[in-house]
Structure 1
Amino acid sequence: MVRRVSMPSADDLFRPTSTTDEEQPATAAPEMGAGTDTGRSPSGRVRHDEKMTVYVTAEELLDIESARLSLRSRHGVAVDRGRLVRAAVALALADLEAEGEDSRLLRRLRE
């Protein structure tokens, strides 16, 4: 007698893994002081639907990786490079929004 294995249907394989409430991005708590006055905060660990490619020098990439490793070893914060960059961008944008002409970002870009 041949025994047939029961396979899951396509609906079972491709079903949503969370409820509608869980699919909505949660409001992340401000990290590293970002957005405390302006409400802007990095997105943290959520699914990102948009992509942006940024080119950096070898030295900048090493600095980012060094910062990531330092966050993990010295501060116990394990983040990937993308999350680190999103947090830095959130800080820069919050500073620009709060400080305007006196923002560190604007001063840096004018150098």
Structure 2
Amino acid sequence: MASRRVRLPGADEIFRPTAPKPPGKAAAPAAAPATAPTAAPVPTQTALPVPAPAAVPVAAPVAGRRPTGRQRHDSKITVYVSAGELLDLERLRLTLRAEHALSVDRGRIVREAVAAILADFEVRGERSTLVRRLRDGEG
């Protein structure tokens, strides 16, 4: 009789190394997990109001400040967002796909946003959108 026990993937099947590989060494592709991971509860937080696009001009990225786009990324960060922020991000992704024929993932949208806000900060400094929003959020 076969075991009815569910086989769970091992750590080496779930996690892949994020350190850069030495030249000439290809990373072995990570195997897909046998089961879908369970979503962890998302901490709640109050989102800052987002101004209309015309109200806050963002400078075009300066030389060297382009997002990386579709490539393998070796560094990773974890960002916690509220359920509403995640829903807004997913709606944006679907709108980009439906109305602009841009099939991008959430990571690409976030990398584009980071590149834009860094470029704006480099150009405008104290008057940048980032500094204004962070100051407005204090208190």
Q: Does 1:87 align with 2:108?
A: no
Q: How does 1:1-111 map to 2 (within 5 A)?
A: 34-35=60-61, 37-111=62-136
Q: CA separation in 2, counterparts of 1:64 and 1:108?
A: 19
CA distance in 1, matches of 2:94, 2:133: 25
**CA shift at 1:39, angstroms?**
2.9
Tell me the matched-pair count: 80
List gaps (5 residues or longer) in structure 1.
1-14, 17-32
In 1, the alpha carbon distance for the partners of 2:86 and 2:111 equals 15
2:20 maps to which residue? none
Distance 2:107 2:122 in 1: 22
Moved over 4 A (4+): none
Q: Which has the higher helix share?
A: 1
Distance in 2 of aligned mates of 1:94 and 1:45: 20
C-alpha contact 1:71 1:77 (8 A) present in aligned 2: yes
CA offset at residue 97 of structure 1?
A: 0.7
Shift of 1:38: 4.2
Q: TM-score, normalised by structure 1?
A: 0.67
Give the Cα separation in 1 of the matches to 2:127 and 2:104: 30
Structure 2 unaligned residues grouped into runs of 5+: 1-24, 27-58
Distance 2:72 2:123 in 1: 28
Q: Is the 1:64–1:81 contact (alpha carbons within 8 Å) kept by the matching residues of 2?
A: yes
Q: Indicate the percent of aligned positions where both proteins have the same amino acid.
A: 59
